Amino acid sequence: MYIPFNELPPHARLWIYQANRPLTDAEQDKIKPTLQRFAEEWSSHGTGLQASAELLHNQFLVLANNETAAAASGCSIDKSVNFVRELEQQLQVSFFDRTQLAFLKEGEVELISVQELKKKVSAGEISENTLYFDTLVNNYGELQEAWPRPAGNSWLSRYF
Instruction: Return per-residue pLDDT of the chain as tens, 160 residues.
Output: 889 999 999 999 999 999 999 999 999 999 999 999 999 988 767 777 889 999 999 999 999 999 877 667 777 888 999 999 999 999 999 999 999 999 999 999 999 999 999 999 999 999 999 999 999 999 999 999 999 999 999 999 999 9
Instruction: Tell me whether residue 28 is in a domain.
Output: yes
What domain range is 124 assigned to?
Answer: 102-134+148-159
Burial of 130 (0-12, 13-18, 19+ CB in 10 A): buried
Instruction: Tell me whether residue 46 is in a domain.
Output: yes
Listed in sequence order, the DSSP H helices in 46-109 are 74-91
Domain identity same for 83 and 110: no
Residue 36: C-alpha distances to residues 5, 84, 98, 146, 150 (Å) = 10, 13, 25, 25, 31
At position 140, the amino acid (one-letter code) is Y
Output helix, strand, coil percentages for the chain, rounded to the nearest 5. Answer: 40, 25, 35
Number of domains into which the chain is organized: 2
Instruction: Tell me whether residue 97 is in a domain.
Output: no
Domain identity same for 74 and 28: yes
Domain identity same for 82 and 154: no
Domain identity same for 50 and 121: no
Domain identity same for 44 and 114: no
Domain identity same for 120 and 48: no
Instruction: Tell me whether residue 140 is in a domain.
Output: no
Q: Hey, how many other C-beta atoms are within 10 angstroms of the C-beta on 123?
A: 9
Instruction: Tell me whether residue 16 is in a domain.
Output: yes
Domain identity same for 81 and 129: no
